[in-house]
Structure 1
Amino acid sequence: MQIDRLLYPVHSLGPGDRLAIWIRGCKKRCFNCANPELQLFNPNSEVSMTVIKEMISKIDKKIDGITITGGEPFCQAKDLFEIITFMLEITDDILIFTGYSKKEIYDLNNDYAIKCIEKATVVIYGEYVDELNDNHTPLIASSNQVIEFHNPKINNKYINYMNNGRIIENFYYNDNLISVGIHNSRRKKGENTKVDKRN
Protein backbone atom coordinates (compact mmCIF):
# COMPACT_ATOMS: atom_id res chain seq x y z
CA MET A 1 0.00 0.00 0.00
CA GLN A 2 1.30 3.48 -0.80
CA ILE A 3 1.25 5.57 2.36
CA ASP A 4 3.02 8.84 3.02
CA ARG A 5 2.93 9.09 6.80
CA LEU A 6 1.55 7.55 9.94
CA LEU A 7 1.29 9.76 13.04
CA TYR A 8 0.23 9.23 16.67
CA PRO A 9 -1.26 10.82 18.73
CA VAL A 10 -3.30 13.13 16.49
CA HIS A 11 -6.08 15.23 18.04
CA SER A 12 -7.03 17.47 15.12
CA LEU A 13 -8.73 14.81 12.95
CA GLY A 14 -11.25 13.34 15.34
CA PRO A 15 -11.75 12.78 19.07
CA GLY A 16 -9.20 11.23 21.39
CA ASP A 17 -5.63 10.04 20.87
CA ARG A 18 -5.85 8.94 17.26
CA LEU A 19 -3.62 7.14 14.84
CA ALA A 20 -3.73 8.98 11.51
CA ILE A 21 -2.65 7.45 8.20
CA TRP A 22 -2.16 9.46 4.99
CA ILE A 23 -2.60 7.37 1.84
CA ARG A 24 -1.02 8.37 -1.47
CA GLY A 25 -2.80 8.94 -4.77
CA CYS A 26 -5.86 10.98 -5.73
CA LYS A 27 -7.46 11.88 -9.07
CA LYS A 28 -9.66 14.73 -7.82
CA ARG A 29 -7.17 17.64 -8.01
CA CYS A 30 -9.29 19.92 -5.79
CA PHE A 31 -8.29 23.58 -5.91
CA ASN A 32 -6.26 24.52 -2.81
CA CYS A 33 -6.05 20.86 -1.78
CA ALA A 34 -4.64 20.53 1.76
CA ASN A 35 -2.22 17.80 0.66
CA PRO A 36 -1.34 18.36 -3.02
CA GLU A 37 1.91 16.44 -2.53
CA LEU A 38 -0.17 13.30 -1.98
CA GLN A 39 -2.12 13.48 -5.24
CA LEU A 40 0.45 11.50 -7.21
CA PHE A 41 1.13 7.82 -6.65
CA ASN A 42 4.74 7.04 -5.79
CA PRO A 43 6.14 3.50 -5.90
CA ASN A 44 8.78 4.60 -3.36
CA SER A 45 5.94 5.00 -0.84
CA GLU A 46 4.94 1.35 -1.10
CA VAL A 47 4.80 -0.32 2.32
CA SER A 48 3.77 -3.92 2.84
CA MET A 49 0.72 -4.63 4.94
CA THR A 50 2.93 -6.68 7.27
CA VAL A 51 5.13 -3.66 7.97
CA ILE A 52 2.13 -1.34 8.41
CA LYS A 53 0.60 -3.72 10.95
CA GLU A 54 3.93 -4.04 12.77
CA MET A 55 4.24 -0.25 12.97
CA ILE A 56 0.75 0.05 14.42
CA SER A 57 1.34 -2.81 16.88
CA LYS A 58 4.45 -1.04 18.25
CA ILE A 59 2.34 1.85 19.56
CA ASP A 60 2.30 1.01 23.26
CA LYS A 61 -0.37 3.50 24.26
CA LYS A 62 -4.14 3.37 23.91
CA ILE A 63 -5.40 4.21 20.43
CA ASP A 64 -8.82 5.84 20.80
CA GLY A 65 -9.51 5.91 17.08
CA ILE A 66 -7.98 5.82 13.64
CA THR A 67 -8.31 8.47 10.95
CA ILE A 68 -7.56 7.56 7.34
CA THR A 69 -7.06 10.36 4.86
CA GLY A 70 -4.87 11.20 1.91
CA GLY A 71 -4.69 11.48 -0.99
CA GLU A 72 -7.76 9.38 -1.65
CA PRO A 73 -8.07 6.26 0.53
CA PHE A 74 -10.49 4.52 -1.84
CA CYS A 75 -7.91 4.51 -4.63
CA GLN A 76 -6.41 1.58 -2.70
CA ALA A 77 -9.63 0.03 -1.46
CA LYS A 78 -8.41 -3.56 -1.08
CA ASP A 79 -5.52 -2.57 1.17
CA LEU A 80 -7.74 -0.06 2.96
CA PHE A 81 -10.16 -2.85 3.81
CA GLU A 82 -7.30 -4.92 5.26
CA ILE A 83 -6.14 -2.02 7.44
CA ILE A 84 -9.67 -1.34 8.69
CA THR A 85 -10.24 -5.00 9.51
CA PHE A 86 -6.97 -5.08 11.46
CA MET A 87 -7.69 -1.82 13.27
CA LEU A 88 -11.14 -2.94 14.39
CA GLU A 89 -9.33 -5.34 16.72
CA ILE A 90 -7.81 -2.27 18.43
CA THR A 91 -10.57 0.36 18.27
CA ASP A 92 -14.21 0.62 17.21
CA ASP A 93 -13.70 4.20 15.97
CA ILE A 94 -12.59 4.30 12.31
CA LEU A 95 -12.94 7.65 10.50
CA ILE A 96 -12.35 7.89 6.74
CA PHE A 97 -12.05 11.10 4.73
CA THR A 98 -12.86 10.67 1.04
CA GLY A 99 -13.19 13.07 -1.88
CA TYR A 100 -15.83 10.80 -3.39
CA SER A 101 -19.54 11.12 -2.74
CA LYS A 102 -21.23 7.98 -1.44
CA LYS A 103 -22.82 7.48 -4.88
CA GLU A 104 -19.43 7.75 -6.57
CA ILE A 105 -18.02 5.06 -4.29
CA TYR A 106 -20.86 2.71 -5.17
CA ASP A 107 -20.36 3.58 -8.85
CA LEU A 108 -16.75 2.34 -8.60
CA ASN A 109 -18.17 -1.21 -8.59
CA ASN A 110 -15.46 -2.14 -6.13
CA ASP A 111 -16.62 -4.60 -3.47
CA TYR A 112 -13.73 -3.63 -1.19
CA ALA A 113 -14.73 0.05 -1.26
CA ILE A 114 -18.27 -0.81 -0.22
CA LYS A 115 -17.00 -3.13 2.53
CA CYS A 116 -14.83 -0.30 3.83
CA ILE A 117 -17.87 1.96 4.14
CA GLU A 118 -19.78 -0.75 5.93
CA LYS A 119 -16.97 -1.32 8.46
CA ALA A 120 -16.11 2.34 9.07
CA THR A 121 -17.56 4.17 12.05
CA VAL A 122 -17.61 7.59 10.40
CA VAL A 123 -17.18 8.58 6.75
CA ILE A 124 -16.80 12.15 5.54
CA TYR A 125 -17.73 12.30 1.85
CA GLY A 126 -17.15 14.90 -0.84
CA GLU A 127 -14.60 16.88 -2.80
CA TYR A 128 -12.99 19.87 -1.17
CA VAL A 129 -14.50 23.06 -2.65
CA ASP A 130 -12.40 26.02 -1.57
CA GLU A 131 -15.13 28.65 -1.90
CA LEU A 132 -17.34 26.56 0.42
CA ASN A 133 -14.76 26.47 3.22
CA ASP A 134 -16.40 28.51 5.99
CA ASN A 135 -13.16 28.59 8.00
CA HIS A 136 -14.70 27.23 11.18
CA THR A 137 -16.70 23.99 10.79
CA PRO A 138 -14.72 21.16 12.43
CA LEU A 139 -13.97 17.97 10.44
CA ILE A 140 -15.91 19.33 7.44
CA ALA A 141 -13.50 21.27 5.23
CA SER A 142 -16.19 22.61 2.88
CA SER A 143 -19.96 22.77 3.33
CA ASN A 144 -20.72 20.42 0.41
CA GLN A 145 -19.14 17.56 2.35
CA VAL A 146 -21.32 15.12 4.25
CA ILE A 147 -20.51 13.34 7.52
CA GLU A 148 -22.15 9.96 8.04
CA PHE A 149 -22.17 8.12 11.38
CA HIS A 150 -22.51 4.33 11.39
CA ASN A 151 -22.32 3.64 15.12
CA PRO A 152 -24.77 5.54 17.38
CA LYS A 153 -22.57 4.77 20.41
CA ILE A 154 -19.92 7.23 19.27
CA ASN A 155 -22.21 10.08 18.12
CA ASN A 156 -21.95 12.05 21.37
CA LYS A 157 -18.17 11.71 21.39
CA TYR A 158 -18.02 13.33 17.94
CA ILE A 159 -20.64 15.98 18.72
CA ASN A 160 -18.68 17.05 21.83
CA TYR A 161 -15.46 17.07 19.83
CA MET A 162 -16.92 19.17 17.03
CA ASN A 163 -18.29 21.71 19.51
CA ASN A 164 -14.67 22.71 20.21
CA GLY A 165 -14.11 23.98 16.65
CA ARG A 166 -11.15 23.37 14.36
CA ILE A 167 -7.84 22.25 15.79
CA ILE A 168 -4.47 22.55 14.06
CA GLU A 169 -1.37 20.63 15.22
CA ASN A 170 2.20 20.73 14.00
CA PHE A 171 4.38 17.63 13.79
CA TYR A 172 8.06 17.37 12.97
CA TYR A 173 8.25 14.36 10.65
CA ASN A 174 11.03 13.22 8.28
CA ASP A 175 12.86 16.55 8.69
CA ASN A 176 9.71 18.48 7.75
CA LEU A 177 7.20 20.46 9.77
CA ILE A 178 3.71 19.16 8.96
CA SER A 179 0.55 21.06 9.84
CA VAL A 180 -2.34 18.67 10.55
CA GLY A 181 -6.05 19.43 10.83
CA ILE A 182 -8.89 21.05 8.88
CA HIS A 183 -7.36 24.25 7.59
CA ASN A 184 -8.96 27.54 6.71
CA SER A 185 -9.13 28.58 3.08
CA ARG A 186 -5.98 30.26 1.77
CA ARG A 187 -7.88 32.49 -0.65
CA LYS A 188 -7.82 36.21 -0.05
CA LYS A 189 -10.97 38.21 0.58
CA GLY A 190 -12.84 38.73 -2.70
CA GLU A 191 -10.72 36.19 -4.56
CA ASN A 192 -12.61 33.83 -6.89
CA THR A 193 -12.02 30.10 -6.73
CA LYS A 194 -10.28 28.60 -9.72
CA VAL A 195 -10.83 24.97 -10.59
CA ASP A 196 -7.83 22.98 -11.80
CA LYS A 197 -9.04 20.16 -14.06
CA ARG A 198 -5.63 18.62 -14.81
CA ASN A 199 -5.44 14.82 -14.68
Structure 2
Amino acid sequence: MTKLQVAGFLDNSLSNGPGIRAVLFVAGCNHNCIGCHNKAMQDFGYGEEVPIVHILDRIKNNVPVIRGVTLSGGEPFEQAENLGKLARFIKNEGLDVWCYTGYTYEYIIDYLDKFKGWRDLLNNIDVLVDGKFEEDKASENLKYKGSSNQRIIDVKASILSQEVMLFENI
Protein backbone atom coordinates (compact mmCIF):
# COMPACT_ATOMS: atom_id res chain seq x y z
CA MET A 1 0.00 0.00 0.00
CA THR A 2 1.44 3.35 -1.07
CA LYS A 3 1.89 5.75 1.84
CA LEU A 4 3.04 9.29 2.55
CA GLN A 5 4.60 10.73 5.69
CA VAL A 6 1.92 13.31 6.49
CA ALA A 7 2.64 16.25 8.77
CA GLY A 8 -0.86 17.73 8.55
CA PHE A 9 -4.01 18.16 6.50
CA LEU A 10 -6.49 21.02 6.14
CA ASP A 11 -9.88 20.11 4.72
CA ASN A 12 -10.33 23.65 3.47
CA SER A 13 -8.17 26.74 3.27
CA LEU A 14 -8.38 30.10 1.54
CA SER A 15 -4.71 31.06 1.89
CA ASN A 16 -2.88 28.29 -0.03
CA GLY A 17 -4.07 29.07 -3.54
CA PRO A 18 -7.23 30.47 -5.13
CA GLY A 19 -10.63 29.32 -3.95
CA ILE A 20 -11.34 26.84 -1.20
CA ARG A 21 -8.65 24.17 -1.23
CA ALA A 22 -7.59 21.11 0.70
CA VAL A 23 -3.97 21.33 1.86
CA LEU A 24 -1.67 18.37 2.43
CA PHE A 25 1.49 19.03 4.45
CA VAL A 26 4.13 16.35 4.02
CA ALA A 27 7.07 15.75 6.36
CA GLY A 28 10.72 16.09 5.48
CA CYS A 29 12.77 18.98 4.17
CA ASN A 30 16.49 19.61 3.80
CA HIS A 31 16.29 23.30 2.83
CA ASN A 32 16.36 24.56 6.44
CA CYS A 33 15.18 28.04 5.48
CA ILE A 34 15.77 30.66 8.16
CA GLY A 35 12.39 31.72 9.50
CA CYS A 36 10.59 28.62 8.21
CA HIS A 37 7.04 28.62 9.56
CA ASN A 38 6.85 24.80 9.38
CA LYS A 39 10.13 24.02 11.17
CA ALA A 40 8.80 20.86 12.87
CA MET A 41 7.81 19.49 9.46
CA GLN A 42 11.45 19.45 8.33
CA ASP A 43 11.86 16.19 10.29
CA PHE A 44 11.29 13.25 7.91
CA GLY A 45 9.70 11.26 10.76
CA TYR A 46 7.26 14.00 11.82
CA GLY A 47 3.56 13.18 11.69
CA GLU A 48 2.29 9.80 10.59
CA GLU A 49 2.40 7.43 7.64
CA VAL A 50 -0.93 7.57 5.83
CA PRO A 51 -2.03 5.47 2.84
CA ILE A 52 -2.69 7.71 -0.17
CA VAL A 53 -6.10 6.05 -0.62
CA HIS A 54 -7.11 7.49 2.79
CA ILE A 55 -5.87 10.94 1.77
CA LEU A 56 -7.76 10.73 -1.51
CA ASP A 57 -10.94 9.64 0.31
CA ARG A 58 -10.66 12.67 2.58
CA ILE A 59 -10.19 14.92 -0.46
CA LYS A 60 -13.18 13.34 -2.25
CA ASN A 61 -15.33 14.04 0.82
CA ASN A 62 -14.65 17.76 0.28
CA VAL A 63 -15.78 17.80 -3.35
CA PRO A 64 -17.57 19.91 -4.64
CA VAL A 65 -16.71 22.43 -1.91
CA ILE A 66 -13.01 22.53 -2.81
CA ARG A 67 -11.56 23.71 -6.09
CA GLY A 68 -8.21 22.01 -5.71
CA VAL A 69 -5.49 20.60 -3.50
CA THR A 70 -2.28 22.28 -2.39
CA LEU A 71 0.80 20.20 -1.60
CA SER A 72 3.09 21.78 0.97
CA GLY A 73 5.44 20.73 3.69
CA GLY A 74 8.11 20.03 4.53
CA GLU A 75 9.27 19.60 0.94
CA PRO A 76 6.86 17.81 -1.42
CA PHE A 77 9.63 16.83 -3.84
CA GLU A 78 11.22 14.72 -1.07
CA GLN A 79 8.20 12.39 -1.39
CA ALA A 80 7.74 12.92 -5.13
CA GLU A 81 7.22 9.30 -6.13
CA ASN A 82 4.13 8.79 -3.99
CA LEU A 83 2.92 12.39 -4.24
CA GLY A 84 2.98 12.05 -8.03
CA LYS A 85 0.57 9.13 -7.74
CA LEU A 86 -1.70 11.10 -5.41
CA ALA A 87 -1.56 14.17 -7.67
CA ARG A 88 -2.60 12.04 -10.64
CA PHE A 89 -5.65 10.78 -8.68
CA ILE A 90 -6.48 14.35 -7.65
CA LYS A 91 -6.37 15.51 -11.28
CA ASN A 92 -8.68 12.62 -12.23
CA GLU A 93 -11.19 14.05 -9.73
CA GLY A 94 -11.24 17.27 -11.76
CA LEU A 95 -9.32 19.28 -9.16
CA ASP A 96 -6.27 21.46 -9.74
CA VAL A 97 -2.98 20.91 -7.92
CA TRP A 98 -0.76 23.62 -6.46
CA CYS A 99 2.61 22.76 -4.94
CA TYR A 100 5.00 24.73 -2.73
CA THR A 101 8.68 23.82 -3.04
CA GLY A 102 11.98 25.25 -1.89
CA TYR A 103 13.55 24.12 -5.15
CA THR A 104 13.51 26.44 -8.14
CA TYR A 105 11.67 25.39 -11.28
CA GLU A 106 14.99 25.36 -13.15
CA TYR A 107 16.55 23.01 -10.58
CA ILE A 108 13.58 20.66 -10.84
CA ILE A 109 13.85 20.62 -14.65
CA ASP A 110 17.61 19.98 -14.46
CA TYR A 111 17.11 17.02 -12.09
CA LEU A 112 13.76 15.79 -13.45
CA ASP A 113 15.03 12.32 -14.32
CA LYS A 114 17.70 12.06 -11.64
CA PHE A 115 15.26 11.79 -8.73
CA LYS A 116 12.55 9.15 -8.65
CA GLY A 117 9.07 10.55 -9.20
CA TRP A 118 10.04 14.13 -9.96
CA ARG A 119 8.82 14.03 -13.57
CA ASP A 120 5.50 12.42 -12.63
CA LEU A 121 4.90 14.89 -9.81
CA LEU A 122 5.76 17.94 -11.93
CA ASN A 123 3.53 16.69 -14.78
CA ASN A 124 0.57 16.55 -12.37
CA ILE A 125 1.05 20.02 -10.87
CA ASP A 126 -0.84 22.98 -12.33
CA VAL A 127 0.85 25.73 -10.33
CA LEU A 128 4.25 25.62 -8.62
CA VAL A 129 5.29 28.15 -6.00
CA ASP A 130 9.06 27.80 -6.15
CA GLY A 131 12.10 28.95 -4.24
CA LYS A 132 13.30 28.87 -0.67
CA PHE A 133 11.63 31.13 1.85
CA GLU A 134 13.95 34.09 2.43
CA GLU A 135 13.19 35.85 5.69
CA ASP A 136 14.71 39.17 4.57
CA LYS A 137 12.32 39.18 1.58
CA ALA A 138 9.22 38.18 3.56
CA SER A 139 6.06 40.24 3.51
CA GLU A 140 2.50 39.64 4.62
CA ASN A 141 1.37 41.58 1.53
CA LEU A 142 2.46 38.85 -0.88
CA LYS A 143 -0.39 36.75 -2.19
CA TYR A 144 0.17 32.97 -2.01
CA LYS A 145 3.89 33.20 -1.27
CA GLY A 146 6.02 34.01 1.75
CA SER A 147 8.93 35.97 0.26
CA SER A 148 9.37 38.11 -2.84
CA ASN A 149 11.98 35.81 -4.42
CA GLN A 150 9.38 33.05 -4.79
CA ARG A 151 7.50 32.71 -8.07
CA ILE A 152 4.03 31.44 -8.85
CA ILE A 153 4.55 29.39 -12.00
CA ASP A 154 2.08 28.01 -14.53
CA VAL A 155 3.64 24.57 -14.94
CA LYS A 156 1.81 23.46 -18.11
CA ALA A 157 2.60 26.71 -19.94
CA SER A 158 6.22 26.56 -18.76
CA ILE A 159 6.66 22.99 -19.99
CA LEU A 160 5.14 23.86 -23.38
CA SER A 161 7.19 27.03 -23.89
CA GLN A 162 10.35 25.61 -22.27
CA GLU A 163 10.68 28.79 -20.22
CA VAL A 164 9.22 29.95 -16.92
CA MET A 165 5.70 31.30 -17.37
CA LEU A 166 4.22 32.98 -14.34
CA PHE A 167 0.68 32.13 -13.30
CA GLU A 168 -1.43 35.24 -13.90
CA ASN A 169 -4.92 34.12 -12.82
CA ILE A 170 -4.70 35.22 -9.20
Shorter-chain TM-score bucket reads 0.7 to 0.9
Give the deviation of 1:92 after TM superposition.
Answer: 4.0
State how far apart, in whole Å, the 2-side matches of 1:57 and 1:32 are.
34
**Amino acid aligned to 2:117:** Y
2:164 matched to which residue of 1? Answer: none
Match of 1:10 among 10, 13, 21: 13
- Deviation string, structure 1 residues 84-142 (Cα, Å, up to 9, x no partner): 00100223421000001123323261252122212211001100110011331111211
Structure 1, unpaired ranges of 5+? 160-199
TM-score normalised over the length of structure 1: 0.71
Deviation at 1:24, TM superposition (A): 0.5
> How far, CA to CA, are the matches of 1:66 and 1:23 in structure 2?
13
The structure whose Rg is larger is 1
- Alignment of 1:22 with 2:47, yes or no, is no
In structure 2, relative to structure 1, the CA distance for the partners of 1:65 and 1:44 (3 Å cut) is closer
**Whole-Å separation in 1 of the counterparts to 2:90 and 2:63:** 14
Q: TM-score, normalised by structure 2?
A: 0.82
* Aligned match of 2:125: 120
**2-side partners of 1:59 and 1:51: how far apart?**
13
Deviation track 1:6-61 (CA, whole Å, cap 9, x = no partner) reads 11221011111111110110001100101001000117611112222222233354
Listed as ranges, the gaps of 5+ residues in structure 2 are: 158-166
The SS at the match of 2:9 is strand
Question: How far, CA to CA, are the matches of 1:91 and 1:36 in structure 2?
Answer: 32
Native 8 Å contact 1:23 1:72 kept in 2: yes
CA-based RMSD: 2.0
